């Protein structure tokens, strides 16, 4: 029996589905779309669009997807949702064992070509995240990075996200004096570039049912900085 085709209007715009099975949906989030609802936007989110997708246009359906993690609105890349609370809980319980790889293009040439940035992060009433060396002032955040390629103005970094706090990568790199290109929030006043050059490129996790290790890769969107840098990432992801 053929599977009923899902109407085009319920296909999630801004979220290219990379993998779907009975337990999870994995996709490549486009920059600019929210992961979950915010005060200023409740409808055009990946979470809401995927709920419509799994309901196949049936308003009586109670099917839904369950949030596991989030990407900032301006950040693109791999994002995974669960199809049941059981699958959601398994992945959350084992989140520290997942490998989360990001690529970022930052301003300037970094003196240290690799390293670990560690601090305690907290969010103020204006939703701005601040960094401190005092453990009483926030939650521990650890970002490991490696410079892969440089020009005279920019550096391409590969990032291993060892913790997953809100705005972590953006805050840590800005604190180092090398904000991410296109970051209006932590970019130290430089807003001449349209898109945030931060991409969740790879996610390796344990499947909640089969318990096998799976790796998902997401294509890099165009960046307004340097074709040589974004092209390098694209070539890396296809090998």
Q: Would you please indicate which residues are annotated as catalytic (active-site) residues?
A: 72
120/144 Cα distance (integer angstroms): 15
E-state strands within 30-173: 66-67, 76-82, 99-107, 114-123, 129-132, 139-150, 154-161
Which residues have a Cβ under 8 Å from the Cβ of 183 and sit 6 or more positions away? 74, 170, 174, 196, 198
Two tokens at 151? 């020009």
Neighbours of 44 (CB within 10 A): 13
Nearest to 83 by CA among 25, 132, 126, 27: 25
Q: Tell me the two tokens of residue 90.
A: 């398994």
Can you list the alpha helix ranges (DSSP code H) found in the chain? 46-55, 85-93, 168-175, 227-237
């Amino acid at each position: 029996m053929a599977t009923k085709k899902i109407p085009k209007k319920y296909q999630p715009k801004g979220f290219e589905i990379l993998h779907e099975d009975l337990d999870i949906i994995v996709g490549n989030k486009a920059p600019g779309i929210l992961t979950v609802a915010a005060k200023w936007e409740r409808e055009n989110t990946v979470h809401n669009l995927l709920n419509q997708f799994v309901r196949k246009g049936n308003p009586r359906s109670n099917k839904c997807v369950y949030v596991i993690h989030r990407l900032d609105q301006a950040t693109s890349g791999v994002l995974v949702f669960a199809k049941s609370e059981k699958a959601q809980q398994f992945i959350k319980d084992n989140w520290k064992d997942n490998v989360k790889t990001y690529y970022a293009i930052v301003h300037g040439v970094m003196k240290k070509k690799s390293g670990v940035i560690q601090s305690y992060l907290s969010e103020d009433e204006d939703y701005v995240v601040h960094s401190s060396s005092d453990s009483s002032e926030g939650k521990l955040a650890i970002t490991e990075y490696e410079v892969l390629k440089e020009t005279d103005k920019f550096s391409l970094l590969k990032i291993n996200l060892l913790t997953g706090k809100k705005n972590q990568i953006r805050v840590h790199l800005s604190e180092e004096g090398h904000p991410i290109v296109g970051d209006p929030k932590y970019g130290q006043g430089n807003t001449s570039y349209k898109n945030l050059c931060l991409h969740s490129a790879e996610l390796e996790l344990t499947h909640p049912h089969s318990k096998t290790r799976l790796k998902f890769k997401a294509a890099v969107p165009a960046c307004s900085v340097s074709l040589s840098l974004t092209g390098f990432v694209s070539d890396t992801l296809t090998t």
